[in-house]
Copies of this chain bind each other. A is one copy, B any other.
Amino acid sequence: MWQPDRRADIPIYRQIASHMEGRIRGGEFPQGSLLPSERKLADMLRVNRTTVVQAYEELRSMGLVERAVGSGTKVVPAGSGGAISPNWRKYLEAGTFLPNVPAMRRIRSELRTEGAVIDFASGELHPELFPNETIRTLLKEKTFDGHLGYEDPQGFAPLRDSLSRFLRRYLNIEASESSLLLTSGSQQSLFLITQCLLSPGDAVAVEVPSYGRSLSLFESAGLKVIPLRADDQEGVDPDDVAELHRRHRLKMIFTNPNFQNPTGTVLSAERKQRLLDIAAERGIPIVEDDPFSLTAFDGTVPPPLRSMDAGGQVLYVGSLSKIAASGLRIGWLAAPHSIVSKLADARQQMDFGLSAIPQWVAAELLDSPGFGRHLAELRRKLAFKLDSLRAALDYHLPGEVGYRVPEGGLNLWAKWNERPANADRLFEQAIREGVVYVPGSVYGSGPDFFRLCFARPADDRIEEGVAKLAAAYRTASRF
């Protein structure tokens, strides 16, 4: 009998709904008849009952069935007085947003069940690394006296003031509160930049491999993505920018110079200056995505490009996601006021701005004396997790994996010394073993590369995760 295809991009519940829809319209289930019970169909198709519930809900919302309390799910009279439910398929295929890459969707669906696989894929901190106590205490002890009405389109002014001081103190970046836009994170900053400052067809340089390369947002904005090679030892070569500009007339450069994601490299001071000069000579703005500078394990923070930028060319994108907590959804863009103003106006059209309470929490957090201590503790814990990962790799995969040791950030960029015969099969086998990572192809790299986020698993799961990866490697290597 028919079984859903677990490898296909189409979610299982939707395959089941389509399948049942076909059988209903084909007459197999006449009007008024009952569909198989949820439990029964789940058993037959070897899926979770909740998946069948979702499929039946889909059929109900399409107007094909209704729930009869105590009886089950019943097929409603066809046409119901001539009514046609909207053909949602057409609407689902419309619009300008391209779906996220299949590998990432696969990873996300595996991670939906808490604790099911050991997670080296999500590029974020383990919850024990968040300043949980500080935030809880803050919520309890300080009285939220902020304004719960619509806010300044640029974001909560006291947070922009705190942030301005924070950027100066910790990163040597001068940005007045009027040149700051508070966003819901780096993602929103990048989305606003690509949607509002660029037009379809514009050529933009994007590092490869990079996290940026994995995002659909450049394509969703209709931009022409020009790959800018990011060497896994030294990062981008600014002279490449000059060459690419000659060939493509770049409108913007997207870079992540400090603890680049995924390679972990830090662009040298000389290269940073050369990049600024080359871009300045040609009038090309640079978007600097900087989630990780403050995670420098030894506390020596590499200067952001923006801190070296005298000419106002760098649009600086930062956030609290990797140095505090991603669930706060607090990020920022430092840019000329006119840019900030335009993007704030567009953002108002999208979502009317950020929530008041998290902005208040973030302002308190950045101003608190404990934040410096939190950063020091975070660096220490990240370094420990990296050491655990390396020890586990040495033990379980001796000589199989090569990597450059990062000095900050959350990720290890690794390479199989012997290219796997089939990277997809290895990825699937790892999931079967109970561990997930991100294949290099997601970032625009080759099948011998992969990213392990050492920040995400709990300390006591890192070795177990590597052991499972090793088991998958040995299994997959046999074919």
Contacts and interface: CB of A to CB of B under 8 A. Distances in A.
A445 to B, nearest CB: 21
Nearest to A187: B352
A84 to B, nearest CB: 4
Contacts of A147: 127, 327
Interface string A187-206: 11001000111111010000
A54 B143 contact: no
Interface string A126-170: 010010100110011001101111110100000000000000000
A336 to B, nearest CB: 4
Interface in A180-222: 183-185, 187-188, 191, 195-200, 202, 215-217, 220
Interface residues of A, number: 108
A200 to B, nearest CB: 8
A136 to B, nearest CB: 6
Interface in A302-347: 310-313, 325-330, 335-339, 341-342, 345-346
A216 to B, nearest CB: 6
A63 interface: yes
B125 A149 contact: yes
A14 B345 CA distance: 15
A57 B91 contact: no
Given A199-B95, A351-B185, A86 B149 contact: no
B60 A312 contact: yes
A99 to B, nearest CB: 6
11 contacts: A11-B341, A61-B336, A81-B277, A84-B280, A85-B283, A85-B312, A97-B195, A97-B345, A140-B143, A191-B351, A357-B357
